[in-house]
Structure 1
Amino acid sequence: MLDIEVIEDPAAAEASLDPIRTRILQELAEPGSATQLAAKVGLPRQKVNYHLKALERHGLVELVEERRKGNVTERVLRATAASYLISPVALQSVAPDPRRFADRFSAFWLLALAGRMVQEMGKLIAGAAAARQKLATFAIDGEITFRTAADRAAFAEDLGVAVTRLVDQYHHGGAGGRKHRLVVALHPALKPDAQDSTKTIPAKEQDND
């Protein structure tokens, strides 16, 4: 099971966005059967089976084992990943393209860069997994509080100078090197009441599907 799987296929993305199937994927972080899932999500086993077949068809769940019980074969499945992200590739014709513009102070350019990162990392992770190799990456995540907007602008300028100096120091322009993508981002942190805008749909509400 992957920690995160990036979904590129539009049909798979559509299947994963169904609230019931999202709940099933969540429950299948640990292997389970349709009977076990039915008790957890509050739906008939036949309906759970219908959703499982759709998720399996799109490669979002996988068979772990089959258990024979009398004349019945119970299939035990699990999600292919602990978490999922939908790649901009799933919306290829309308996905943001960072090459259209390059404005260091544009929130939309930052978002386009983030979308490209999801797309590229999804492909790199899949390739590394297929080759049974580790993927060399590095990231820094933190928070900084600025006293004034002028301080923020000064920090951004100093950061740009420092990164440019490091790039000039380590960049190898000749043949034989491996190109790497470098993205540096700075944006306001979300306020506490906006941190979690998603809510789990109760089983009773999901029964209407």
Structure 2
Amino acid sequence: MKHYLTIEDEKGRSVLSSKVIRGGIKVSATEEQILRELTFCPQYPAQLAKKLGIPEQKVYYHISRLQNQGMLEVVEKKEIRGTTARLLSPTAESFTLALKEKGNPEALLREEKTDKLSLFLASLVDKGVFMGNIVVGNPDPHGPFKARARDGHYAIDLALFLGKRATSKDTVSLLDTQVNLNSHFSSLLIVGGPVTNQLVEEFNPSLPVKFSQDKPWGLISERTHQHYTDDAVGLIARVPNPHFPDKIVIILAGIRYSGTRAAILGVIKYADVALSRFTGQKRFASVVQGVDMNGDGEIDTIDLLE
């Protein structure tokens, strides 16, 4: 189903067309901004108000108009202190503007989303089959810090998500203490930071954004030279396996377990944002900041830092 739009300013004056197209849908300039913002990822009204710099009450008004015209939908609800927070997303991949009178049948209002995630997972997922291993940190004390992994359970969300894209012919999950990198020739999806997952430390020299070796602990970008130290900062990285260059290593990790959650959310819910710069580079890294938008103590969305 195609949607036809006439963009208007706040006083109802047509901006892109001198008349409303018969059977078309009218949206204001603010509503166009909301649609464009939601192109990147689902968001809450409070997020939209902050990003657009307008009162939240005004955002609710425009959201209501867009919902009434079938252009926005609620994809998730959360009860917070007696109120319901609604996560919003557009109802279509693209919306178009008809310009028949000018000989141009339609012009895209916003580009169709590209499936960056499929490209990012290539080599791990091949023709609908998961071809690698998911590696989490050992929950028992191990490594030089005698650390217990606390973020392995986040891999469950990751596995459920990947299950929609691929099947597996064998067991795919491993602990970091079970992997011998010199003989393990599968591609790897590694969950957790270097303190709790020893494999991250092994691959750290190959990463475009590296975990710092000295205090303050954090992430250091070789591209921007930025030093990130917040606990909720997460890394999404993809590099060739230096031991077997035809295989890849994907790392979803944080300085702390909250950062690991942010990295995983970046892949399973907000890939259009987190992977916006990915075009197939051999070495790629994205840094995200986890945000507790609805105030329930859990990270539920992300901001892209680089």
- Give the structure with the higher percent helix: 1
Q: TM-score, normalised by structure 2?
A: 0.27
Q: TM-score, normalised by structure 1?
A: 0.38
- Ranked by relative contact order (alpha carbons within 8 Å, sequence separation 6 or more), the top structure is 1
- Give the structure with the higher percent strand: 2
